[in-house]
Amino acid sequence: MKINKGLSTYAGMLALAGGLLAAGNVQAQSEATECIAPAKPGGGYDLTCRLAANGLEKTGMIDKPMAVSYMPGGIGAVAYNHVNGVRDGDPNLIVAASTGAAVNLALGKFGQYDADDVRWLGALGVDYGAIVVNADAPWQSLDELMEDLKANPGDIAFGAGGTVGSQDWMKAALTAKAADLSPRKLKYVSFEGGGEALAALLGDHIQVFTGDLSELKSQLESGKIRVLAALSEERMGGPYADIPTAAEQGYDVQWPIWRGYYMGPNVSDEAYQKWVERMSQLAQSQEFAELREARGLFPMSRFGYDFNDYVLEQVDQFESLANEVGLKQ
């Protein structure tokens, strides 16, 4: 992957953004704005666009409703190529992205373009991966599961809603690596979606489900599952407060499923910084906090060059893992 150059040049711009936010509200955008969801209506990318569109309108930060358009194809590749090749300098266009986009970039699924061929704008919310077993499983902790996995890797079936190389597989692979176990030794079963994988766990067809915290709330209340670890930096609150992180248990692995946005590579610094300021202010509002919570997301506020660096580091990590197991195209 190409090296992103010159980010340090803009360090002062972040301080400037903070000063502008402290001084008062960002001026409302009067021009028409658009968010591209790189998928069909419904689903995560649609949710991500609606999160920005509804939040910006509700807080009065845009004068006209944000248009949401759909550009499915290539798991995000069509939209990524369109922005780079056609709308590379559009100052009023943002595109929904997620951790899944970083995975696909690492796997070389976006064609000729690399992760640093767009301007990563920021993330407004996040979910976190989780290591889940049946309530009657023999493991009470992640450490117990990992000890059995290292002793008999072929006897414990992981499963999730994605194929080898997907986000859900990456969660399992990184957890295995944290236990000094090669991801190649994992027994992994692919399902059409998280719901099907969870049903397989409850039916004892698999022993471990690598899901997401937000989708587990109802099952936690039912007492049918045990979450051995949250793949978050720190414990989450509310119904997740008793779930330890993997790091607490000695396994340095996190899996944040961020919901964010990018812009075209030739968008001006001025236009880019205006969006950074707008998104930063949106994330601080109570109205937006309610919208985010209603969509099952946890707070995440990374914007501008901080977010840009974060995404590029993620892609490097995923690329290394993909090369290790022979997934890179």
- Model confidence at 192, pLDDT cuts 50, 70, 90, reads confident
Which range among 114-118, 249-253, 262-266, 320-324 shows the weakest confidence by mean pLDDT?
320-324
Give the pLDDT mean for 191-218: 90
Residue 16 has pLDDT above 70, yes or no: no
Q: What is the mean pLDDT of the chain?
A: 88
Give CA separation, 115 vs 1, 2, 292, in Å. Answer: 7, 8, 26
- pLDDT for the residue numbered 9: 35
- Write out pLDDT tens, residues 170-184: 998 988 888 889 888
Q: What is the DSSP letter of 292?
A: H
Question: Rounded CA gap, 141 and 89, in Å?
Answer: 50
- pLDDT for the residue numbered 30: 64
- Model confidence at 282, pLDDT cuts 50, 70, 90, reads very high
Residue 14 has pLDDT above 80, yes or no: no
- pLDDT for the residue numbered 20: 38
Question: Rounded CA gap, 234 and 214, in Å?
Answer: 15
Question: Rounded CA gap, 151 and 154, in Å?
Answer: 9
- pLDDT for the residue numbered 323: 87
- pLDDT for the residue numbered 220: 87
- pLDDT for the residue numbered 119: 98
